[in-house]
């Protein structure tokens, strides 16, 4: 099947926050939980969710912090970045050691991706992240985000890649 370049996401922060508010109870019910804290998640503000992610290589498990943003959500997936656990932001190159090396066919982490539009960013290259669409990445039509998905689609895609294709962490600069 031929790949297409979908349109760029349109920001609508109010809609994103409202959609996140609707989806958190749905996701918690699906996971058999009643509060995000039971999962180790945090909501530092209305438009962000912090999710711990783990990767194991050669019997050693390492922890990472994934920050999801909801500025274009639900029409588009949440933005996703691995961040410094102390600051909850990512600054290249100083924070690249807070990123996992993931090279799955469906999910690849780039610490400093140069997009065709000239923008440079951390890219979790996965059709379940907003940045994937922000970079005008070609995609199979069947893999394009559906407004029926929830942010847990993004979390699950990254967790799945980490479970099978985790290669350690990027080195300190």
Indicate whether 40 belongs to any domain: yes
Tokens in use for 3? 């790949």
Indicate whether 22 belongs to any domain: yes
Report field, pTM of the whole predicted structure over 0.75? yes
**What does each of the 173 residues of the chain score in pLDDT, given as a tens digit?**
677 677 778 899 999 999 999 999 999 999 999 999 999 999 999 999 999 999 999 999 999 999 999 999 999 999 999 999 999 999 999 999 999 999 999 999 999 998 877 888 999 999 999 999 988 888 888 888 988 999 999 999 999 999 999 999 999 98
Which residues is 81 bridged to in the sheet?
67
Indicate whether 7 belongs to any domain: no
> How far is Cα 164 from Cα 162, in angstroms, rounded to an integer?
6
- Considering its fold, how many domains does the chain have in total? 1
Indicate whether 3 belongs to any domain: no
Burial 47-61 (b: 16+ CB within 10 A, else e): bbbbbebebeeeeee
Check which CATH number belongs to the domain holding 151 and give it: 3.10.110
Indicate whether 89 belongs to any domain: yes
> How far is Cα 173 from Cα 157, in angstroms, rounded to an integer?
28
> How far is Cα 77 from Cα 136, in angstroms, rounded to an integer?
14
Residue-range definition of the domain harbouring residue 66: 13-169
Indicate whether 1 belongs to any domain: no
Indicate whether 143 belongs to any domain: yes
Indicate whether 27 belongs to any domain: yes
């Amino acid at each position: 099947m031929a790949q297409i370049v979908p349109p760029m996401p349109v920001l609508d922060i109010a809609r994103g926050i409202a959609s996140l508010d609707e989806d958190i109870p749905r996701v918690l019910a699906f996971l058999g939980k009643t509060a995000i804290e039971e999962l180790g998640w945090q909501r530092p503000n209305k438009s962000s969710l912090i999710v711990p992610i783990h990767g194991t290589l050669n019997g050693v498990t390492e922890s990472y912090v994934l920050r999801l943003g909801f500025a274009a959500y639900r029409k588009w997936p949440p933005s996703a970045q691995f961040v410094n656990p102390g600051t909850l932001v990512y600054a290249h190159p100083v924070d690249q050691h807070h990123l996992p090396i993931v090279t799955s066919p469906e999910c690849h982490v780039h610490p400093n991706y140069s997009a065709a539009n000239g923008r440079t960013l951390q890219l979790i290259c996965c059709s379940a992240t907003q940045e994937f669409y922000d970079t005008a990445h070609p995609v199979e039509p069947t893999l394009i985000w559906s407004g029926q998905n929830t942010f847990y689609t993004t979390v699950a895609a990254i967790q799945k890649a980490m479970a099978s294709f985790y290669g350690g962490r990027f080195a300190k600069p």
